[in-house]
A = this chain, B = another copy of it.
Amino acid sequence: MSIRIGILGYGNLGRGVESAVMQNPDMELVGVFTRRNPSSIQLKTEGVPVLKADELPAWKDKIDVLVLCGGSATDLATQTPAYAGMFNVIDSYDTHANIPAHFNDVDSAAKAGGKTALISCGWDPGMFSLNRLYSECILSEGASYTFWGKGVSQGHSDAIRRIEGVADARQYTIPVESAVEAVRSGSNPELTTRQKHTRECFVVAKEGADKARIENEIKTMPNYFADYDTTVHFISQEELDRDHKGLPHGGYVIRTGVTGVNKENKHVIEYKLKLDSNPEFTGSVLVCYARAIFRLASEGRTGCMTVFDIAPAYLSARSGEELRAKML
């Protein structure tokens, strides 16, 4: 019997989850739920219904794990707790500062409903968090660094698009290679925001717009760009569509540390991702954790968890015997 997956929200991430389900034969997509008009949505999977989000309660016994694919800023803080009492749920909530509050909200709802929930799953938070944790536990004396990119930041691209005179934009976050090298060397550098990443912007200006003003507004925008070395390229819509349509991303988690009675030996642990499609990779992480949540729920576990709380074997469709024989 397949694990029955539901998707709430059919944007980039929802489509990423859909294609990941197709790649896992022990899973089956049973419904996509949306706040838009369902007839406006055409799925990639044949024979699966698209339904109004309001209809979810009627699907309570027909979905094993509901994957919430909304945005952290607007949707997940309310959606995940709202559905966690009715379904086993999983989300990719990534507003780091609010994770503890979100965890508590989801945990209460899941426990009240006797369901299992996983929040903040994906690659950061998610696989990067796991690597920060494992490497800190192994090298207890050391320093950890996370670099993001080269990749498209959708939040920063949106911020540029809100500037007057901008028709479209794409922003890349780029790690400073010399900073990555300094970290790898084990020299434990103190790095400012500016020293870790640069930002590169491809901007389509509206006809007659003042490009010098747009460039200045981008480079001085607080939080988003002011603390970074930012370059701005004005290009045509055709060039943007041709050269910057993808959503690549990636990055590095690096920990360096010392061991030995005199702390004489250095070690470097590096985890690196290079992703052609951020939402499809995130969707793939969500889907293997959906398998884990289904199993944990079947064992009677209730309440909210994070990737820290889930033993790796739960992610795999293989048996324990097979994992020990082939993967250990």
- Interface of A toward B, CB cutoff 8 Å: 16, 19-20, 22-24, 44, 96, 99-100, 103, 120, 125, 127, 129-134, 136-141, 184, 259-261, 264-277, 280-281, 283-285, 288, 291, 306-313, 315-316, 320-321, 323-325, 327-328
Contact = CB atoms under 8 A, between A and B. Distances in A.
Given A273-B268, A275-B267, A323 B133 contact: yes
A266 B277 CA distance: 8
23 contacts: A20-B140, A23-B140, A100-B324, A103-B324, A130-B134, A131-B271, A133-B313, A133-B327, A134-B315, A136-B316, A137-B316, A138-B284, A138-B285, A259-B276, A259-B281, A265-B275, A267-B275, A270-B270, A270-B273, A306-B323, A306-B324, A309-B312, A309-B320
A268 B277 CA distance: 11
Contacts of A325: 99-100
Contacts of A273: 267-270
Contacts of A321: 100
A20 B308 contact: no
A99 B323 CA distance: 11
The oligomer's copy count stands at 2
Contacts of A127: 134, 138, 269
A280 B259 contact: yes
A119 to B, nearest CB: 9
A317 to B, nearest CB: 8
Contacts of A315: 133-134, 137
A308 B320 contact: yes
Given A22-B261, A129-B327, A260-B280, 7 more contacts: A100-B324, A131-B271, A259-B280, A264-B276, A265-B276, A269-B273, A308-B312
Given A267-B273, A308-B311, A311-B310, A261 B44 contact: yes
A308 B316 CA distance: 10
Contact of A307 (B184, B268, B275, B312): B312
Contacts of A320: 308-309
Given A261-B19, A265-B277, A272-B272, A130 B312 contact: yes
